[in-house]
Amino acid sequence: MADAAVDFLLNNLKELAIHHGHLITNAKSEIESLQIDLRLFKAFLEQSVKKRRKDEPTYKVLVQNIRDVVYEVEDVIDEYVTKATERKAGSLIHRIFKSPVDLHDIGSKVEGIKERVKRAMADLDKLGVNNEDKHEKPEVRPPRQKDVVGFEDVTEELKCRLTKETNHFDVVSLIGMFGLGKTTLAWKIFNDKAIEYEFLVRIWIVVSQELSEKNIFLAILEKFTTITEDYGKMEAWELIPIVAGYLERCSSFLIVFDDVWSPAHWDKICQALPSTNNKGKVLITSREVDVGTHASKNGLLKKLRFFTQEESWELLRLEALGKLHRPSSELEGVGRRIARDCEGLPLAIVIIGGILATKFSASDESGMIKEWKKVSERVSAYLLDDKQNDLAARMKNFISLSYDRLPDHLRTCFLYMGMFPEDYEIPASKLIHMWIAEGFIQQNDYSTLEETGEMYLDDLINRNLIKIEKMKSDGKVKTCRIHDTLRDFCRTEAGNGNENLFQEIKFNNGVFAPPDSELQKCRRLYIHSNCLRFISEEPTVPRVRSFVYLSKDEFTLPEENISDFLEAFRLLRVLDIEPILFPKITSDIFRLVHVKYLAVSLNLSFLPSKFSQLWNLQTLIVNTASDKLAVEADIWKMKQLRHFKTNVSATLPKPSKKESKQGAQLQTLSTVSVESCTADLFDRACNLKKLGIRGRLALLMEGKMASFDSLRKMEYLEKLKLINDVRPKPASEGKLHSPPQPNQFPSKLRSLTLASTFLDWSYMSTLGQLENLEVLKLKDKAIVGSEWKAFGDGFRRLEFLLIEETDLATWDPSNHHFPSLKGLVLKNCKKLLGIPIGLADVASFQMLELFSCKSASSSARKIQEAKTKIQAEGSAFKLTIFPPTE
């Protein structure tokens, strides 16, 4: 993580010099000198990474030294900036910190650190470099020869594809995370009698990271001819035509390449494969989606699913009890809980099954139940305990290999996932914004920080290290999570003994761990229980940069603890404490000048003006128990602010006439009041991508207090929410009589949400003219009326439609509506009699969900039947009806 730490510090120093150079005037020369040294150090470190031996102890020690040096520099600079800010603020703060900033002392520290950096660079220069290529013979490593359980559907699908006649050379890819059973399944297929009969030649090759393409080619040749000394002396490029020739002439062959690591590796291998022999087939397994996408351009890419709960229990039962023993209902209940906690990962089930097998006793089932219950309490701990058995060591090795293969910029992002609680659905936007605040993502010339973060997340998902939990209606990731075993790996790897990335605070036997003495060196802390008690003990954490509390247990922070709590975390960059309610705001929070990500809950109806002193803020999330929030802070002066979110309507301050470009960095404003939506605001926040507006929308539509016309200038706005709120009047009085026309909406608008607008169904023809609209959500009587008579050819690009809480009874469709629709969700449309059957003819339409729409259920099932008849191979229409009895 040393390179990430250097990048972050360099970027911080750059931002500090550009935006707040007055704070470091007296230390300018020392800091400039330090920047030069850090750049040299960064370049040298990058070069050493390219050459290193991964298990080289000297390298690991040096990386830790480098990281510690950078952290110390960071501490000195941040403390200097904090004190300089407080000193310049004067008055009360100046009286609190009476002693002047000792610039000489800070300069001496910087000089001392610079010398340590130089010594570390010199030591790194001496590090041995190992460029020796390792050549080894490909191995045939059959998996365990026990009963293969599960994946019967996948097995048949792959067998059918491999034996199917095609007019081209076919490559089938089996993709999935470690431990899912890719190798076991491939081996089962490889030895299937039908496959043996179909293919005259079958070749199995385990592709290791170090294995050269030359040795792979020799392994293939070995099936056709004797490997002579001449073959052994040939280079890989000389063997290519020879191998290709044998395969071209072979009447039928199957080659399994197990565990292909990268598209580049596959490109080298496939040079020797014949492109014209349609009798030959290749099956590859890989953990990375990119490999399958690249290799199977004209073939089948099969993503291996997780085991179902029934498959999980069946495998665990066989592993732990064998075929003959039938468990009691009580033992089965415990076993099913254990199987569930393995989260559908076959290797995890096999490991736990092996542990349970050692506790088998046919004559003492009550004793077995007791032992099984002990295991059920700490399943994930057993999975990475390589002292338990060889399979646990194998599990640990699988994860380590995947981790070692990650580029440096993804390692920190992956380990960071370990901070989130077990079984926690992580919002993708939250994760990315936190990555940015932590400095894990650096600015480049071709994408925004958020776009780069999305690419990082997609990369980790494609490597099967992160699971998608929910998708947004626009096809992007909404929430994600990681397997508990991976989470435990991240926590171990990121702990103080290794990367010193973060540390969990736990409360056991009346005391917190780690002790206060160890907290002194922690950079990031997270706690998910007993948080109030921890705060009450007034911990000393001077170096902590992140404090995260994610829990369902909400509490109000006692007023007497507020100052001590904030004083303990003066150098924070990330403060995520939404479950903690602050009854009041003290001046201590305004001294957190380094904070970049702040998520808080306040018992206030206003946001104090001094919040604008937090000049480093990038993401500000404010929840309040009030029904409105008056923002007194001048957010237009907060030059780093990119995302401002509130749970209620927020009234923003009017921008001053000075520096009209302030606000251009804002990408998210959600949710703002109608009164705030002035032409001046939209001129300032010209780069907004997401905007939520809540209040009396009629004032906006009719131009009485603001003008909807101003929105058309928002050329980057993609997502717009319009929530009509006329409280304390009844919602029914909020009907919009002058709704906006197509030319008033932003031209690039992709997602639109309307709520409580009480528009007529005829307005759908207007919305249908929005050329780039892909997502439309109609909530809480957004549109009312008993009949929707569609006409024309609107909604040409719409992919997702949600209709919720409406009195619609008859939906009379147009034959040309929704040609691109993928998903339709209907909620609480209790009067709706039916859904147009013509939707079944929309090729892209693959998902239909009904919640409390009993009268429309019959038509939904007819659509499912029609889709099933015309369904293309490999696709599946998904129908959900809830309650299921409807």
For residues 74 and 754, the model is more confident at 754
pLDDT at residue 392, rounded to an integer: 66
Residue indicated by tokens 């030059």? 639
Q: pLDDT tens for residues 186-214?
A: 998 998 888 988 998 999 998 866 668 88
> Region 513-521: what's the mean pLDDT?
85
Non-local CB neighbours of 508 within 8 Å, separated by 6+ positions: none
Q: How far is CA 678 from CA 161, 662, 692, 707, in A?
A: 60, 15, 14, 7
Contact call for residues 554 and 580 (beta carbons, < 8 A): yes
Res. 231: pLDDT tops 70: yes
- Express as a percent the part of the chain with pLDDT over 90: 40
At residue 457, φ and ψ (nearest 5 deg) are: -65, -45
Which ranges in 582-690 belong to alpha helices (H)? 679-684
Residue indicated by tokens 């990962």? 345
pLDDT at residue 748, rounded to an integer: 94
**Of the ranges 101-105, 478-482, 812-816, the best mean pLDDT one:** 478-482
Q: Mapping DSSP to helix (H, G, I), strand (E, B) and coil, where does residue 812 land?
A: strand
Query: What are 751's strand-pairing partners?
Result: 719, 775
> In the structure, what pLDDT confidence band is assigned to residue 351 with cuts at 50, 70 and 90?
confident
pLDDT at residue 124, rounded to an integer: 56
pLDDT at residue 444, rounded to an integer: 84
Res. 135: pLDDT tops 70: no
- The DSSP output letter for 173 is E
For the chain, the average pLDDT equals 84
> Region 262-277: what's the mean pLDDT?
87
> Region 154-174: what's the mean pLDDT?
89
Res. 104: pLDDT tops 60: no
pLDDT at residue 596, rounded to an integer: 96
Residues 634-660: b if buried by 16+ CB within 10 A, e if exposed = bbbbbbebbbbbbbbbbbbbebeeeee
Q: Mapping DSSP to helix (H, G, I), strand (E, B) and coil, where does residue 261 land?
A: coil
Q: What share of the chain is helix, strand, coil (3-state, %, to 5)?
A: 45, 15, 40
Contact call for residues 428 and 478 (beta carbons, < 8 A): yes
How far separated are the first and last CA of the chain, in Å rounded?
A: 54
Taking the C-alpha atoms of residue 667 and residue 718, their distance in angstroms, rounded to an integer, is 10
Res. 40: pLDDT tops 90: no
- Express as a percent the part of the chain with pLDDT over 70: 86
* Total-model pTM: 0.82
Q: pLDDT tens for residues 553-583?
A: 899 999 999 999 998 898 999 999 999 999 9
> In the structure, what pLDDT confidence band is assigned to residue 400 with cuts at 50, 70 and 90?
confident
- Pick left, alpha or beta for residue 439 (phi over 0 → left; psi -120 to 50 → alpha; otherwise beta): left
User: What tokens does 54 get?
Assistant: 């991964």
Res. 100: pLDDT tops 50: no
> In the structure, what pLDDT confidence band is assigned to residue 429 with cuts at 50, 70 and 90?
very high
Res. 96: pLDDT tops 50: no
> In the structure, what pLDDT confidence band is assigned to residue 871 with cuts at 50, 70 and 90?
low
Query: What are 382's strand-pairing partners?
Result: none
User: What tokens does 119 get?
Assistant: 């010594």
pLDDT at residue 788, rounded to an integer: 94
Give the closest residue to 557 by CA, choosing from 588, 527, 534, 532.
Answer: 532
pLDDT at residue 102, rounded to an integer: 44
Contact call for residues 571 and 78 (beta carbons, < 8 A): yes
> In the structure, what pLDDT confidence band is assigned to residue 659 with cuts at 50, 70 and 90?
low
Q: Mapping DSSP to helix (H, G, I), strand (E, B) and coil, where does residue 882 land?
A: strand
Res. 317: pLDDT tops 70: yes
For residues 113 and 274, the model is more confident at 274
Enumerate the domain spans of the chain.
2-125, 152-303, 309-392, 425-494, 785-886
> Region 93-117: what's the mean pLDDT?
50
pLDDT at residue 837, rounded to an integer: 92
Contact call for residues 589 and 617 (beta carbons, < 8 A): no
Taking the C-alpha atoms of residue 62 and residue 75, their distance in angstroms, rounded to an integer, is 20
Res. 812: pLDDT tops 70: yes
Omega cis (within 30) before 143: no
pLDDT at residue 478, rounded to an integer: 94
Give the closest residue to 877 by CA, choosing from 866, 885, 867.
Answer: 867
**Of the ranges 79-88, 233-242, 393-402, 695-704, the best mean pLDDT one:** 233-242
Contact call for residues 620 and 607 (beta carbons, < 8 A): no
Non-local CB neighbours of 17 within 8 Å, separated by 6+ positions: 24, 31
Least trusted range by pLDDT, from 275-279, 507-511, 637-641, 855-859: 275-279
Taking the C-alpha atoms of residue 4 and residue 824, their distance in angstroms, rounded to an integer, is 43
Q: pLDDT tens for residues 136-152?
A: 455 544 444 455 677 88
Res. 377: pLDDT tops 70: yes
Contact call for residues 767 and 776 (beta carbons, < 8 A): yes
Q: Which long-range contacts (CB under 8 A, 24 or more apart) does 834-841 make?
A: 834/858, 834/859, 835/811, 835/859, 835/860, 835/863, 836/811, 837/862, 837/863, 837/866, 838/813, 839/813, 839/863, 840/866, 840/867, 840/870, 841/866, 841/870
- Domain topology for 152-303: Rossmann fold (3.40.50)
pLDDT at residue 2, rounded to an integer: 66
Taking the C-alpha atoms of residue 460 and residue 175, their distance in angstroms, rounded to an integer, is 14
pLDDT at residue 131, rounded to an integer: 42
Give the closest residue to 414 by CA, choosing from 355, 470, 464, 363.
Answer: 464
Taking each continuous run of H as one helix and of E as one strand, the counts in the chain are 30, 33
